[in-house]
Structure 1
Amino acid sequence: MADLKQTALYDLHRDLDAKMVSFANYSMPLHYANGIIAEHRHCRSHAGFFDISHMGQCLITVDDAATALEKLLPSIIGTLPSGKQRYTVLTNHEGGIIDDIIVSRLDQDYMLVVNAGCKDKDYAHLQQHLGRHFRSRPDQALFALQGPAAQQVMQQLAPSACRLKFMQLCRTSIHDIPCLISRSGYTGEDGFEISVANESALELAKLILSFEPVQPIGLGARDSLRLEAGLSLYGHELDESISPVEAGLSWVIDKQKRQFLGADIIHRQLQQGAPRKRVGLLIEGKIPVREHSEIHNDSGQKVGYVTSGGFSPTLKQPIALALIDRRFDQQSCYALVRNRQISMRVTTLPFVPHHYHRG
């Protein structure tokens, strides 16, 4: 993996006995010594530390940044107050999703966090439309502290960050290290994401990990945590052929907004219905139903496919997310796994309740 990119914490991950894997052209920890399920459960019960520095951070710096950026998004961000965030998507001309992103208002500027696997194409897209007003921030690392003990730990590091509500952010310092901290995350738990300069990343990571409730968490548990929380993953529930309506993200679309890429197609789907819909599935038995598995109705007709599937340590059973035909209105269906019919039941999302701090 010598040709892969490394985050500022690469050596720390190795020191912590992480199993390193290739992900989005980075060498990243899949799990540490205790394994994925133990890490998953620790985050649900205590606090997990995630290195997510492979994700992209960039700034939009222009006098009328909102107007320029809104041409690329179905959401309104011009009314976003300073210190608040919004989840949204970048769309293409066909109404598909280029990426799902977080937009943060920083006074007159906007900070974007984009997915690691989409970073290059996102940056090219933003550069094309925003020119010199777009600036990437490869000098910044990004961490997540997630779980019911996250506030207890943050109270000792940066008390001002504990006054934030879900999807708010502030500038502060931790032991004289300047940070940008948001109350957000990708696990369904309460928690924080911390943007910090690469040069201070190792010092801050070691400080956070020194707290007894905190353990390092790898990509494996990050995926199972987000799946239980019913959160989409780019390349699975989201891609350039899937619209935000199909992906269950109609709530990010401003119903009056017409000037963005793919607007006609997306608004038509809002009014008339999209061809497909995202659903959650509870799997009967112990055999997981993996990505790309075909879904059939009781008559044997194919009605969709699994986009993400795995074992839920919290529910102690396999679960899945899927895209299915919008006309499918039954509760029961099945997937074919190694020529076996695996019974499944459509369920509401999330699989495990969210615990965001909304105040």
Structure 2
Amino acid sequence: MSNNWEKKWIEDIDFLKSNLINNHKNLFFTTTREEFEEKIEMLKSIINNLDYDEMKVELSRIVASIKDAHTSIEFPVNKYLPFKFYYFNDGIYITKVTKGFEKFLYRKVTKIEDIPIDEVIKELSQIISYENEYFLKAQSMKYLQGADILYGLLICDNIDKINITLEDEVVEVKTINPKDLIYLENIRIPLYAERYKDNYWHKYIKDEEILYIKYNSCKDNGDVSIKNNIVETINFIEKNNVNKITIDLRNNLGGNSTLLRPLIEYIKSNKKINQRENLKVIIGRETFSSALINAYEFKFETNAILTGEPSGGKPNCYGEILRFTLPNSKFRVSYSTKYYKIIEDDSILALYPDEFQEEKIEEYLMYL
């Protein structure tokens, strides 16, 4: 490697170090400054032994060691496996595929190259920012898609094709470019997995007389505002005399928690809906940040039953992120600027549902 390679990475590493130390609300809440700086110096000493993908991984390892789920590093992924994965109760399955890979749909993954999938997830856990096992389950499935991430972790030695074991069958899978990562949409899937690109939508389920509301992101979706969505929802409820509502927050990673307040206030004032038997809120491993605040608002302010999996977000945590960009690699780094205390007990790692209900691969297999 050239001296210029080393010089630019040292600049980035020092920039990362100084900005995190100076700007994070409390960088050393789980580690010491000495331990952090030791990791920084160790990485600087081995730069010339690493390639670009290995540098991405090692920078992520340092940031992940802070153990703040809101403090993380974003880098480009240039090669993907043509799949989307999900960690079900009995293992990891392929739940979405791109064109030409239909035969792999809903197959169980047991190895990447010759490494058992549990060991692959263990390796990924070292470079992912998380605070509980549920968020790790969610985030690891996204990292598992990145062929150059697997390459940087030395899990595979060819970024263009990777051997994957599907139960007992070993298949060679060619990786694809980001522009080709377009999942097939003409496959029937469970209701909660539909319209995943829409930040907010609702559907009336006639057989059960329930209005299902899916809240995927605490953000306006372009010109479509959450405020207008909520107005439409309330108008539908009033016009159709709806008594039962299910609000699904399981895939909501956050944004602005105040956007949902008009719906929460309406539900609080509606005596028919605000009954334990009529109001359900679904949470899960991707219920995080502002969405977790909304879930607690339902828990504390309404009579809702919380169902699903424990939240990916930790109730009391650092957040309110800002970002900076490393000068040479242009990797984006997010960091926390505020501490949120929702409950008294700091040791509680998640919001736990009243009724535990895991997602199962059978919910997908029924549509084959």
For this structure pair, what is the TM-score category when the shorter chain's length is used for normalisation? Answer: under 0.3
Query: Which structure has greater strand proportion?
Result: 1
TM-score, structure 2 length as denominator?
A: 0.26
- Structure of greater Rg: 2
TM-score, structure 1 length as denominator?
A: 0.27
